Structure 1
């Protein structure tokens, strides 16, 4: 395929190239890969969501960068990619969760919510005059009322394809973080161990992270909870001490 032919397929968001690709979807995935990393970890007690907050200036308030979002009492999400696109999807997810509560008097299931948002994402790849969302979400929570249901963790993709994961990362450094999660995740992982694993995974992408540039939330039978900065700092300090001890042994 010559350059002119490829550019012709670039101009359409709903056109397949001869080799079966939609270039605009691939560009949207690249926008996700350039975003600050976010990750989700499923544990025996709930789900851990974590993300790195990047500031473009020392004068910017880091707390104004929202990477983790509460959707409902037992639902949360993490985002990577274009912030504005992610905010739109988060607003739609919250609306869907509240609509289900008002209509049926019960919380919306994690899988159902993920497929609802994925359907919306997929529609942007099907009609002309639109572009794919340049953002990906990790949607996590407990099904039902959160008292007896098992933790669930899903990922959405700019193509509109949902996937369920035990542990997954999105954003920059995704390959290295995912490799670390695959090597260290286990079925018996507790919530506290999941928080520590999340911090260690983010340090894989940036070993100079501090507690203020990391945001973590947990979703358990007690609901959605933001982990405090002091708790994150304790984990980072403990991990640093463990590394120092291992170097002394060597």
Structure 2
């Protein structure tokens, strides 16, 4: 019976275990931790999002990988975890942002939108017939001219941050953010901090493996072009030349081929 009771707590979306845990929420958090990391940094001028968006196959179109999203002119989000779950939350956030424009004639607040989403997420942890969302979001934007950054996890908890990360490698990346974040960072410095933090988790990556966006009062939501990301790579001392890496690999393959030809010639000589 004890085993069956434990299994019931494990499968129940809205049941507390005797030690006060909701296992399905913990499993949802585990799903997020297995996703590619996304970093959010609050700077003096706005919010920076830096997300790992590397394709899992050379046959996959890189543009189809969705990690960063525009919610409104002054709002953006980064996701980690199950993409399909994240898309549902992002669509809900967009509808709420547009509805706020229609009802009140003004943009929705960053905190207001975050708490609307987290209330919805939390409902799925206490209602039968559903499961928690296996995704986490970073929500950043401008409130009354001031940048703000929030995180929403599968439990439905909204927290405001100066800099944070969701997804895999959280401990190492968060340590870098805690050590190096400071008041008065510029947008460029915020991008560099995000790249440097991700480098502690990913040993080798190039500018094309990242999705970067900023949200400022002047420009609103803006996708950062790869050229600017490349400059950030060089500023933090990372190799930003993916073509050079490809050329080196081609040279290694050519050298291996020459060696194989030489071995083949030696074999012919021995045969004779």
Common topology (TM > 0.5): yes
Give 1:209 deviation, angstroms.
1.1
Aligned length: 238
Which deviations, in whole Å up to 9, do the C-alpha atoms of 1:139-191 show, x marking residues without a partner?
000014xxxx2110000010111000000001000110000000000012111
Larger Rg: 2
- SS class of match (1:119): helix
Give 1:53 deviation, angstroms.
0.8
Query: Once superposed, which parts of structure 1, at least 4 consecutive aligned residues long, lie more than 6 Å away?
Result: none
- Between stretches 113-122 and 188-197, larger displacement belongs to 188-197
RMSD: 1.4
Partner residue of 2:228 out of 206, 215, 231 = 231
Give 1:3 deviation, angstroms.
4.3
Aligned counterpart, 2:97 = 97
Aligned counterpart, 1:72 = 72
Aligned counterpart, 1:210 = 206
Distance in 1 between residues matched to 2:113 and 2:238, nearest whole Å: 41
Which deviations, in whole Å up to 9, do the C-alpha atoms of 1:89-138 show, x marking residues without a partner?
00000000000001110000000000000011000011111000000000
Which deviations, in whole Å up to 9, do the C-alpha atoms of 1:57-102 show, x marking residues without a partner?
1111111101000000000000000000000000000000000001
Give the conservation status (yes or no) of the 8 Å contact 2:54–2:210: no
Indicate whether 1:197 and 2:212 are aligned.
no
Give the conservation status (yes or no) of the 8 Å contact 2:212–2:223: yes
TM-score, with normalisation over the residues of structure 1? 0.92
Distance in 2 between residues matched to 1:45 and 1:36, nearest whole Å: 26
Distance in 1 between residues matched to 2:54 and 2:31, nearest whole Å: 15
- SS class of match (1:205): coil
Which deviations, in whole Å up to 9, do the C-alpha atoms of 1:179-223 show, x marking residues without a partner?
000000001211111011111111111121111110110001121
Aligned counterpart, 1:184 = 180
- Between stretches 154-163 and 199-208, larger displacement belongs to 199-208
TM-score, with normalisation over the residues of structure 2? 0.85
Give 1:238 deviation, angstroms.
3.0
- SS class of match (2:140): strand
Unaligned runs of 5+ in 1: 243-250
Aligned counterpart, 2:122 = 122
Give the conservation status (yes or no) of the 8 Å contact 2:51–2:67: yes
Indicate whether 1:14 and 2:14 are aligned.
yes
Aligned counterpart, 2:149 = 153
Give the conservation status (yes or no) of the 8 Å contact 2:192–2:235: no
Aligned counterpart, 1:246 = none
Distance in 2 between residues matched to 1:4 and 1:215, nearest whole Å: 45
Unaligned runs of 5+ in 2: 240-272
Indicate how the Cα distance of structure 1 residues 132 and 234 shifts in structure 2: closer, same or farther if over 3 A, else same. Answer: same
